[in-house]
Amino acid sequence: MNTKVMNFLGMSWFISTLICLILEGSYFGATENSLINQLSVMSTFNIGNLITVPVFNVGFAQGLMKLILWDYSFYTGGYVVFRYFWLITLSPGVIWGMIQVFISLYGSALSLFKLFS
């Protein structure tokens, strides 16, 4: 899966959020903000309130699974039909792309470990 697919999923999530929030007349909640924080690959870690160090965000995989399963707070009630539509049409292609990426990464990691041994 390349960056264009991730951009499409992120943009479709953002547009869906805006449409649902306009229809409901509400604002971003804690669930939407936590998903945005999970999708950032890097986060910061404060050491003694002196130095901030960038670290890898371990919640990235959870955020990616929420993107693939279309598990958002605004797809409840009458909007659940849209969730299942996106789940059936887009998620199999995204999962297939991720499988291809992980297979190539696995092969690269094996060849790297062979080089060192």
Domain total in the chain = 1
> Could you tell me the pLDDT band of residue 79, with boundaries at 50, 70 and 90?
confident
Range of the domain at 74: 3-116
Of the chain, the end-to-end C-alpha distance in Å amounts to 30
Are 35 and 69 in contact by the 8 Å Cβ rule? The answer is no
Question: What share of the chain in percent tops pLDDT 90?
Answer: 0
What band does 59 get if pLDDT is binned at 50, 70 and 90? confident
